[in-house]
Amino acid sequence: MNQRTGVSRRNLLKMGAAGGLGVWVAPLFSPAYAALFESRMLTPIAFNGADGSVKFRVDGTAKVTGDKVFAYDIRSRDMPHWPQTQSHALLLRATFADRAFTGIDISALGDDLKPDRIVTAEDLARDKIAFPGFYGDDMLLPAGKTPAYLGHAVALLIYNDFVRFRYAKTRLRSLDNNSVVQGGPVTGPLEREPWAGFRYIRVGGRTAFDDDSFSTLKDTVLFPSFKKRQANWPDALMDGKVNEQGMAHAKAIADELDKPGEDLLVVSREYFSQSIDTAALEPDNANCWYDPDKQELHMVVPTQGPVEVVESMTQMLAKAGFPVKNLFLHPCYTVGYGSKDHYNFPYYGAMAAFYSPGKPVRLANDRFEQFQTSLKRHSIRMQYRMAVEKKSGLIRSFKGDFQLDGGGRMNFTPSVTLVAATSAQSIYYLPKSDFTAVGLATRAIDCGSARGYGTLQAMGATEMLVDDVAAQLGLDPVEFRLRNVLKSGMKNSQGAIPGGAIRADEVMLKLQKHPLWTSRAKRKTEYETANPGKRYGVGFGCVQKDFGTGAESCFVRVEITPEGAIVMRHSGAEMGTGMQTSQAVVVARWFGRAADVIETSVTEWSDLPMVTSGDPYLSSQADQDKAVADPAWTPSYCSPSSASNSAYYFSHGTRETARVVFEHGLWPAALSIWGAGIGGGQSAPHVVRIDDARWVNGSLTCAGMEPLTLARLARRAHEQGFVTGAIGHTFNRWQWAEADFEVDGQNQRRPLDGLSVRYGDNAPEARRKTGATGGGYHFITRKKLFYPPIQRNNAGVTYYAAIATIAEVSIDRATGKVDLMSHQSVLECGNQIVKQLVSGQIQGGIAMGIGHALHEFLPLYEDGPGNGTWNFNRYTLPRAADVAVWSQGAEVLPALSDTDPPKGMGEVVMIAIVPAIVNAVAHAIGHRFTELPITAEKIRGVLQ
Give pLDDT, residue 216.
96
pLDDT at 36 over 60: no
Average pLDDT over residues 616-622: 94
Q: How far is CA 143 from the centre of its chain?
A: 37
3-state secondary structure at position 156:
strand
Least confident of 11-20, 196-205, 658-667: 11-20
Whole-angstrom distance between the N-terminal and C-terminal Cα of the chain? 76
189-198, pLDDT tens digit by residue? 999 999 999 9
Closest CA to 718 of 768, 683, 677: 768
Report the C-alpha gap between 363 and 288 in whole angstroms: 8
Q: What is the mean pLDDT of the chain?
A: 93
Confidence of residue 743 (pLDDT cuts 50, 70, 90): very high
pLDDT score of 769: 66
Q: Which pLDDT band, with edges at 50, 70 and 90, does 388 fall under?
A: very high
pLDDT (0 to 100) of residue 771: 54
Range in 64-73, 352-361, 589-598, 831-840 the model is least confident about:
64-73
Q: Give residue 904's pLDDT.
A: 96
pLDDT tens, 495-514?
Answer: 999 999 999 999 999 999 99
**Mean predicted confidence (pLDDT) in 469-488:** 98
The mean pLDDT value for 636-659 works out to: 96
Q: For 266-289, what is the mean pLDDT?
A: 96
Q: Please give the pLDDT value at position 80.
A: 82
DSSP, collapsed to helix, strand or coil, labels residue 52 as coil
pLDDT tens by residue, 669-723: 999 999 999 999 999 999 999 999 999 999 999 999 999 999 999 999 999 999 9
pLDDT of residue 52: 79
Residue 822's pLDDT is 98
Q: Are 316 and 132 in contact, with CB atoms under 8 Å apart?
A: yes
Q: In this predicted structure, which of 565-569, 767-771, 938-942 has the lowest mean pLDDT? A: 767-771
Q: What is the pLDDT of residue 31?
A: 57
> How far is 808 from 819, CA to CA, in rounded Å?
9
- pLDDT-derived band at 32 (thresholds 50, 70, 90) equals low
Q: Residue 158: what pLDDT?
A: 98
Judged against a pLDDT cut of 50, whether residue 4 lies above it is answered with: no
Q: Is residue 546 pLDDT above 50, yes or no?
A: yes
Across 730-739, average pLDDT: 97
Torsion of Cα atoms, 181 then 187 then 189 then 190, to 10°:
-110
The predicted model gives 528-538 an average pLDDT of 97
The CA distance from 537 to 528, in Å, is 10
Q: Cβ-count burial of 207 within 10 angstroms (0-12 exposed, 13-18 middle, 19+ buried)?
A: exposed
Distance CA(492)–CA(204), nearest Å, equals 10
Between CA 732 and CA 901 the distance in angstroms is: 15
**pLDDT score of 17:** 45
Peptide bond into 933 cis (omega under 30): yes
728 forms beta bridges with: 556, 755
Of 763 and 813, more confident: 813
- The predicted model scores a pTM of 0.95
Q: Give the pLDDT confidence of 680-689 residue by residue, as tens digits.
A: 999 999 999 9
pLDDT of 2 higher than 60: no
326-355: pLDDT as tens digits: 999 999 888 878 899 999 999 999 999 999
What pLDDT band is residue 30 in, cutting at 50, 70 and 90?
low
Length of the chain: 944
Amino acid at 270: E
> Rounded to an integer, what distance in angstroms lies between the CA atom of residue 901 and that of residue 913?
25
Q: What is the structure's pLDDT at 851?
A: 98
